[in-house]
Each structure stands twice: as structure tokens, then as C-alpha cells.
Structure 1
Amino acid sequence: MQSDGSSFPEAVEKLASEAGMEIPKDDPQQEEKARERQSLYDVLARVQELYRQNLYTAEGREGLAYLTRRGLREETLERFGLGWSGDGRSLVAALRADGITVEQLAQVGLMRLGEAGHPRGELFFNRVTFPIRDRKGRVISFGGRILGDGQPKYLNGPETPLFSKRRTLFNLDHATQAVRKGAELVVVEGYMDAIALDQAGLQGAVAPLGTALGEEQLELLWRLTPRPIICLDGDQAGQRAALRVCEVALPLLSAEKSLSFCRLSEGDDPDSFVQREGATAMAERFAHARPMVEELFNLLSVREVNPGPEQRAALRERLIALSRQIPERNLASEYRSTFLDLFFERFRRHKGKRGARSPGRVSTGPREPRSVAEGAVERLNVLTVLIVCHPAILPHIEQAYTQLMLPDTLNDVREAVLEWADQSEELTAENCQKWMQEHGLGEVLSSLIDGPLPRTLRSARSDDDMLKVDVLESWWHFYALVNFASFEREVQQSVEDVLMAAYSKSSDSSEGERFPVSILARMKVVEALKRGEQPELDEGTDAPP
């Protein structure tokens, strides 16, 4: 089952045949069903022969010309069994000599029937036909493409006893053989994409059948390889399809089952790309397919060019919610961490010149040394300790905190604090420091806490409302010492925003009468620094609360 991608009954049948053993017979009822199914396979095989012959008649000339214009060679037409349906009025008569009935054609989905069961006409007419085969290579249905402007452009056969769209992939039989020989398993959007890649020598391509890729089709892929590549069209529809694949796959992921994504430029599809650039260029794209976690983040954030706080908060919440859909706890945690790394990298840490480099989890190379102004390291240490020991202030200062340029050690602490805060229901020092200890940052944390702190905060109580203001003001004081000019501009803008909001309220409204405490704390810091005041540091080693 693992080596051939076979189902259990298929594996048993094959091994028994090789060993010269006879599989126990089904009961008479099961045998009758097997005979009926075999007869339906025979019907489809005979229809396939007829469609194939039609392609080379005068009636099928237009279809053959279309396939030739699309760049398909004779051997490719033969390999895939492409054909022509005819005018939609000759199938019954042509197959009557073979004993094939209208009812059988209806059973395999090739004949439309009225409410009373009377034939209403053939499903395919004036269409190029694409036989759809199962893993054993047996024809189980057809797809058809109309020429000209008719709709629908592509039409697949309906659900039948032999054919289920959600359990089938186009070209799965050829792709299975190719993957066993080392080819990449690639999911593309349509028949012609899979055929074009196969003709170019990239024979591991499959395609869903007019529907979005579903759970059962993903399981088919994972039976062949742990990380198939999804390569859809580069247009908006392709992006929506990729997002849908990610959403379907998330609850099914494990450490052994994932997806990679190959993104093409807008206006390209695998067919056009491989015919223009060649198989080597296409294979190179497959080799650089990116992990699903990065593709999903990019799909969700692509429209967020300059998002405000509300948009950023909504995006972050959606990313966290998506990570929770993964059943394996460790994998879900890794997805969540990577989502947040990518989020902060894109929207927080590269804002202006103060943005920090890419976080360690998504870095592709060794860390580069940070450039921190002389004398600033001690102040940055204090800023970090204030947050770790009084994390309740984090919502008030988070945006400024994420924009600071920090040395690598403090950056590791920041990433850990932000990750903890995102999943914690209660922002307490005890919970924060316990989480940091569990994640290998205990020694770093101890060295920071034993360092200098504002003297007035050494013995303060963490649950005191006035303390929260004092801590917040102290944090902004040290933040301002790192870059006062920028800080003053930010405070001025915040004050103007609040005043504008207050004056826009109705005169009898109580909203806006109370000045925001976070802005008030920063205003006090600006005035104190203009007066030349500096916070006093206590060099003692008593741990703060």
C-alpha cells in the first residue's frame, strides 16, 4: 500500500496474484455487483474507442486542429486518449451492435434521461473529450471542452457508480507511476495544465475535476508523497483556489503531511509557462515551492498594504484562529509562532528605519549584529524588564515596543513575550515568567531582573492601579531616552488625535472627558525630559514583584 499507493483490496489482489493464490470469492450478490461494474467499465472503454476514432474523421477535424494549436504532439494525444464526442446524436446507434443500451449509457453518465427515464440526448456533443481514468488506468468518466464561445467551457461527467469527483484526480494513473520513479507530485488547475507538464517530461501532474481540491483528494495525494506541490494559475481565481486548499488542508495536517505552493506570475498558468519557458524553468519553480504556512500568510495579507490597528488586529486574530484548526498540538504551535513571526516582520518591525530584522524563526541565514546606540543597551534592558515584571502595560505600549531595534538577546525575549501574550488570558508577571522559563529563557530573564531598575518600582505592588501608571510612565521615560525627537512627535500626534476625537463628540456626551492614561503618561515624560529630569536606577539585586 505504501510503495504503490494502492488501496487495501488492490494490494491484496496484486500480492495474491503474484503468489499464485486465489482471493476468496464474494457471495452471489457481491459477484453480481462486480459483474455489473465490469460491464460499465467495458461500456466506457468502448465509448473511448469511438471518441478516439472520431478525432481523426472529418467531423473531428476542428477538435484535432484545436489540440494541435495548443501544442500537443501525436504521442501525447495517444497517451491521454483525447478524442471528439461527435454531434451528440450518434452514440446509441454506433454502440447498438456491441449490445450497449441507453440505460447503460445513462448509468455511466453519458446519456441524459428525462423524469420518466426516457433518453433526452447525449451529455457530450461537439466537444474535445478527455478520458478520466482511475489509478488502474480504467476509464471511469469523461470531461469535455467545447470549442468557441459555448458554456460551460469544460464539462465533467456526473457522479456514477464508477466515478466520484471528490475521490478522483485527473491523470492520477500516470502521475502515480512517475512519482514512484522520483517525479514531483504537482496539483494543477485543469486538464491541459497536467497534459502540458506531462508532455514536457514533468509527469507527476494531476488536476481536480472542476471542483475545489477536497479532503479525500488530499488524502490521495498524501498516500503518494508527504508534501505535494500546489501550482495553480497566477490570477485572482488561482489565489482564491489556493486559499481554499489551505483552509481544507489545515485540519488534516500533521508532521508527516503538508503542502508546498508554487506561485506563478499573474496571467500565467502551468501550460503557458512550460510552453514558453521550458521544463527546466518549470522544475526550478517547483524546487523553490514555499511551505504552506508562508503561502497562507501571504494570501491573507496580500491586500493589506498599509493597514491600521483594527485591520492588523483582525488579521492576527484570523491567523491565530487558523493555527488552532491543526489537530497536532506541536504543529499547531509552530504554525502559530511562524504566523506571528511573519506578521511582526511585515507589519511591525520594518516600519520606517527603526524596523528590526527578520525574526529568527523565518531567517534564512545567520543573524547579523545589531547596531544599538552607545549607552542605550541598559535602557533597553530596563524597558524589557518592566514589561516582563508588569505585563499588564503591554497593550498600551505594544506597537512602540515592537518597533524598537533590540540586540539579539532582547529580541528573543520580545518574541517570547509577544507570543505568550497572544495566547494568555491573564497578563500577570507570574504567568509570563513561568512561560519564559519553560521556553529556555530563564537564565536570560534572571540576568535582566537582577540588573538596574527604577528605584520607585523595586518594592511596589503589581496590583496597585497607581503603580500601573507609574510603571507605564517609567517605561515611556526610558523609551523616550532612546529616541526623544521621534517620541515627542508621536506624543504630539497622539494628543492631537485625542483632542480631535473629543471635539467631534456631541456636547452632552461624557465620552472624551477622561484623557487616556497612556497618552497622559507620555505627556508627563516629554515635560520631564525637557526639564532635564532623569529616572533614578537602583543597582540592587532584589527581584521586583
Structure 2
Amino acid sequence: MASIPNEFIDELLDRIDICDVIGARVSLKKAGKDFAGLCPFHAENTPSFTVSQQKQFYHCFGCGKNGSAIGFLMEYEGLDFVDAVKDLAQLAGVEVPMTGGTGGQSNKSNLYSVTEKTTRIFQHQLKNAPAVIDYLKNRRISGTTSQTFQLGYALDEWDGLMKRFSPEEHGLLDKTGLITHNDRGRTYDKFRNRLMFPIHDKRGRVIAFGGRAIEAEQKPKYLNSPETELFHKSQELYGFHLARKHSQEDHILVVEGYMDVIALHEHGITNAVATLGTATSAQHISNLFKTWDRIVFCFDGDSAGVQAADKALLTALPLYLDNRIIDFLFLPEGEDPDSFISQHGAEAFRQQLADAEPLSERLLKIIGRQINTQTIDGKAQFQEKAKPFINQLPKGAFKNMMAEQVARITGLALDAKSAAVTAPKQPQNLSNNPMRQVISLLLNSPQLCEKIPNALNFRNLSFKGIEIIDKIVEIHRQNPHINAAAMLEKFRDSEYSQYLGQLMRRYDHLDEQQQAMEFDDIMNYLLKLTTQAQIEGLRIKQMQSGLSDEEKQTLVQLLRQRNHN
């Protein structure tokens, strides 16, 4: 199985600065010897997210997430381990060496190769599809924009794509959702006679496809790839990679279709993405807020658009922190972004954006539907209906102001505190088990392994965690210069990973010298415990079966040692 050498990962974590990695994605401020900021992994208004430059380690006291720069990229960007390492290696200006044969990562690379090759095939076929080219021209989509989005055409053939791949590669076509099967066991192309829209992940790799019918009687009008190893539609947004690359705007537009994104891009509005045949998910919103502080949902003005907006608003409420803005733009009925901007132009569309409805106003409209707040009954009903909505908002100024607004409408105070959201689960409190103290100190300063007395045999103790200490010592022996972050990475795939991340913070209040003194004290304490355990073992044996001369001599030495200490 192909893998990255451990030595390279150790060197990489020693070369890069985790503050540079996280600081490019999260606003950090100096807080003592560490840096602090709002956690990007859960909703909070008071910073509980810290980054230690000394340890090259991050930790959130709110949600408990922690790890190295590799772990952060995996969590924040949604990358797998190898891709996270590659991103850091690119930052450090080094190449990632791979060892071993083919494996899971290689298979995934093969899937990307298939989707990329398919994209090129579809693009080439578009050149010889005059009807599809005319369709794009009629929609005022230029050749340049078509190339930017890598638009293509799937032939009107059952096996037009399959013929371009060897029989050995058909399994990969199946895994990427590009071929399908009927009840009679026949295999054929999933997309036929369709304008093809490659769907990219945030890194710009093709992970799936959408296809639009060319002929009016062809059903369905739009057809998307199924869920695959590469493609999870509740996490991906069409055009995300281009919006992040081409736009310098402080906001992002969320529209409903491929052509909406493409038409906006054609007219110079490059900060647009679309959901992929699914409702806006919390993951979508969270991913967008990592890059932009303002999201504008742009929906058609019909009843379906209103319903989609309401669903998006409800999904967004738990994520709506004070430093974020969500607005809703409803175009005139019968219009969508594509038709509107094609007919009225970019400036008219931007004017519509300037008049977008804030989430606060939209929320009050939803609460007040079919309620007459001019009556006492209606006011009571309004307040009762408002509670579950306010309840979902994170603590902060916006939540308080929404509660005050409800109070102004009803004349009754709505206590925002009574509608507080549940706080993130706190990490489990770890007791002062001496093994935990040793593990914490060794993780913080792996060089302390050299100070473990030869006379100390952890196996004579009844505490849990000895196998972790043995592993840390073994790792340090193989790499005496390993740092804290690299040491923690060695346990990524172990059952102890999250537990060890919590332990890393135990001795943050001590400097290196103080930690070394603490370690000496614990070693002395454990030596006494092991001495006492050996004495008790020998005494039990003495009473049961007697001791050999050698064992008697050992007992005398242990008793002297204990009395001396």
C-alpha cells in the first residue's frame, strides 16, 4: 500500500509553522505564549480555540477538537491525510515522497484520472456538436466561459464513453457513477445526448458531472452523478473552486442551478455557487463561511423559491454568529439569475443585491405568517412561535436583539437567556492519574524520555496507559529530535488520538524548565511505588513459599532503598 514515509512527516511538521497554516484561515490574536481565536469547528462568540506555536498544536476547549497542522487541514478543508500532507509540503516548498505499492489512495487517484479523462472527452465532443454549441450561443455563453467551466457534450450513444476506456477501466467508470446497469444486467453510459457540466471539489478536481437534456422530450431535464467515493452532494457546491479563485468580493451568492452560476460569471459576477440538486445543508453554509463573511441566497420569486429560502434560513440559524451576515434576494416572479442578468445586465443585478433582505427581517416574516399582531391573541401566538427560532441562535448580540425585537412587536419580554442553545460538550475531565501526567509531559517534550530512570519498570504498576508510554519511548528512540506535533501525529489512527490531544494541554501553565522539574518529581514518586510493589510481591512470596538467597538479598536492598528515600 502506498504511503508517505514517517520521517518525511516528522521533518515536514518541524519545517512548517502551524500558526501560518491556521492564521491564513482563522483570525488569531496573541494570548500569552499562545494564540487564540474563534473556533472554526463550532459556533461560539468567545474564543476558546488556541494555537501553540511552541508545540505546533491546536486545541479547542469548547468542542475538544485538537491536533497538528495536518489534522487541522483535514478537519477544516475536508481533506484526506495524504492531500493534507501534500498541501503542507507545497507550503514548505518540498516534494512528498511515496513508498510501497498501490493502495486506497492510489485507487482514489485512479478515480480522479477517470473523471479528468472523461472531462477532456466531453470537451472534445462538444466541438463537433453544433446543436449544443448553438444552444450555448443562444444562452449567450461564450467559448471562454465554456472553457473556464470545462463544459462538454455526452454523445447520443449507449456506450459512447465506455468505448473510450479499456474493459479493465470499466470498474473505475462504475465507481465514479459514469456508467449504470439495468435490470437485465446490461451496462451503458449514464449520460447520453446531454450538455455536460463537470463538478469540481474545492481543490478544482473533477469529482462528478451534471448533464442537461438537449431535446425537449428528454427526461429528466437535469441529471446528476450519484453519490460516490469522490462525490457527496450535501458537501459540494458547483463553482466553489472558481468563486474562490476569481472573486475578491466579501460575499458569496448561492443560486439554484448550473446555468445561473455560468451566466453570472459570463457577466463578470464570479462570486456565485449552486447547490447540486439538494437543499442547502449546514455543511454548505459552514464551508462558505470559512471563506466569506456574508452569504446571499438568491432564489426565484415563486413559491418554490420562497420555500427554498425558508429551509436555508432554518438551516443557518445555529451557525449565525455575530460576525456573519446572511441576506435573501428574491428576483421578480418568472426570473432566475440567468434570465435576469441576460436581459437586464450586471448593474441591474447588483442593484437587486443591494436591496437583499436581511435574515432578521426574513425571520420575523416567517414567524409572523398568518398572525395578526394587532390583537392580544396574535401577540401571544407570535411570541410563542418565536421561541424555537430564537432558541436555535448562538449566544450573542444578534440573539439578544432578535429577542428585543420580538418584545417590541408583542409588548412582552422574551428572555434570550431562557432560549440559550446547548453549549458544546466539554472534554471529559481527566483525573491526576500519574500515567496521564507522564504521558502529557512526554507528549509536550518528547526529549523527557531520556530522563526516565532505568530502574523504573512501569510494568510493576497497576495504572493504565503503560502501553502508550512504551510507544512514545520507542518513537523517541527512533527519532530523538521529534517535536510535540510530530509525536502526536504518530497516534492519529490509534484509539487514543482524541484522548492524547486533551492531555497535551495539561501542563500549559508551566515552562520547559518547570515541566522538567515536574517530570523528575513524578519519576521519583513512581520509583517509590515500584519499589513498594516489588517489596510487597517478595513478602507475599516469602510467606507462601519462601525466598531464594538472591531474592532475600534483593528484598534487603529494596528495603534500604525505600528507607533511604
Compute the TM-score of the two structures, normalised by the length of structure 2. 0.56
Q: Contact conserved, 1:319 with 1:339, CA < 8 A, in 2?
A: yes
Query: Conserved in 1, the CA contact under 8 Å of 2:154 and 2:195?
Result: yes
- Corresponding residue for 1:13? 86
Q: Which has the higher strand share?
A: 2
**Counterpart Cα distance in 1 of 2:202 and 2:371:** 43
Paired residue for 2:395, among 308, 328, 346? Answer: 328
Q: Is it true that 1:227 corresponds to 2:314 in the alignment?
A: no
Deviates most, 221-230 or 107-116? 107-116
Per-residue deviation, residues 227-269 of structure 1 (Å, max 9, x unmatched): 2111111111110000000111112222234422222222221
Counterpart position of 2:381: 314
Q: CA contact under 8 A between 2:298 and 2:328: conserved in structure 1?
A: yes
Corresponding residue of 1:108: 176
2:258 matched residue in structure 1: 191
Matched, 1:91 2:160: yes
Q: Matched residues in 2 for 1:257 and 1:213: separation? A: 17
- 1:255 aligns to what SS in structure 2? coil
Partner of 1:42: 113
Question: Quick check: 1:261 aligned with 2:328?
Answer: yes
Q: 1:444-455, aligned counterparts within 5 Å?
A: none
SS in structure 1 opposite 2:145? helix
Deviates more, 1:210-219 or 1:248-257: 248-257
CA contact under 8 A between 2:288 and 2:295: conserved in structure 1? yes
Task: Encode CA deviations 1:405-431: one digit per residue, 9 max, x unaligned.
Answer: xxxxxxxxxx5xx22599999xxxxxx
- Inter-CA distance 317–169: structure 2 relative to 1 (3 Å threshold): same
| In 2, Cα distance between equivalents of 1:114 and 1:189 | 30
User: For the residues of structure 2 that align with 1:282 and 1:136, how far apart are their CA atoms?
Assistant: 29
1:56 pairs, out of 106, 127, 137, with: 127
Superposition deviation, residue 323 in structure 1: 0.7
The alpha-carbon distance between structure 1 residues 168 and 157, as it changes in their structure 2 partners (threshold 3 A), is: same
Residues 497-512 of structure 1: matches in 2 within 5 Å? none
Taking the TM superposition and a 5 Å limit, the aligned residue runs for 1:125-274 are 125-147=192-214, 148-179=216-247, 181-182=248-249, 184-274=251-341
Residues 223, 88 of structure 1: CA spacing in aligned structure 2 closer, same or farther, 3 A cutoff? Answer: farther
User: Cα distance, 1:174 vs. partner?
Assistant: 0.4
The Cα of 1:170 is off from its aligned counterpart by 0.1
CA–CA separation in structure 1 for the residues paired with 2:281 and 2:379:
30
Residue 230 to residue 161, structure 1, CA distance change in 2 (3 Å)? same
CA distance in 2, matches of 1:421, 1:335: 10
Corresponding residue SS for 1:160: coil
1: distance between equivalents of 2:416 and 2:202? 46
Which of 91, 103, 112 aligns to 1:32? It is 103
Residues 447-505 of structure 1: CA distance to partner in whole angstroms, max 9, x if unpaired?
A: xxxxxxxxxxxxxxxxxxxxxxxxxxxxxxxxxxxxxxxxxxxxxxxxxxxxxxxxxxx
Q: Which has the higher helix share?
A: 1
When the two structures are aligned, how many residues end up with a matched partner? 345
Secondary structure (helix, strand or coil) at the match of 2:229 reads coil
Letter in 1 for 2:107: E
Counterpart in 2 of 1:368? none
Q: Which runs of 5+ in 1 are unaligned?
A: 345-414, 426-545
**What is the DSSP-based 3-state SS (H/G/I as helix, E as strand, rest coil) of the residue aligned with 2:195?**
strand
Q: Cα RMSD over matched residues?
A: 3.0
Distance in 2 of aligned mates of 1:205 and 1:332: 28
Q: TM-score, length-normalised on structure 1?
A: 0.58
Deviations 1:119-175 (A, max 9, x none): 432211121111101112111000011131333211110011111001100001101
Asked whether the 8 Å contact 2:373–2:379 carries over to 1, the reply is no
Match of 1:287 in 2: 354
Task: Give the secondary structure class of the aligned counterpart of 1:145.
Answer: strand
Q: Distance in 1 between matches of 2:204 and 2:238?
A: 11
Q: Calculate percent identity across the aligned residue pairs.
A: 31
Deviation at 1:61, TM superposition (A): 2.6
Paired with 2:371 and 2:211, the residues of 1 have a C-alpha distance of 40
Which of these residues, 343, 363, 387, is aligned with residue 296 of structure 1? 363
Other structure's SS at 1:185 match: strand
Which 5+ residue runs of structure 2 have no aligned equivalent?
1-21, 26-75, 420-565
Measured after TM superposition, the shift of residue 101 of structure 1 is 2.4
* Distance apart, 1:96 and its partner CA: 2.9
Distance 1:266 1:158, change over 3 A: same
Q: Would the aligned equivalents of 1:112 and 1:123 in 2 still touch at CA under 8 Å?
A: yes
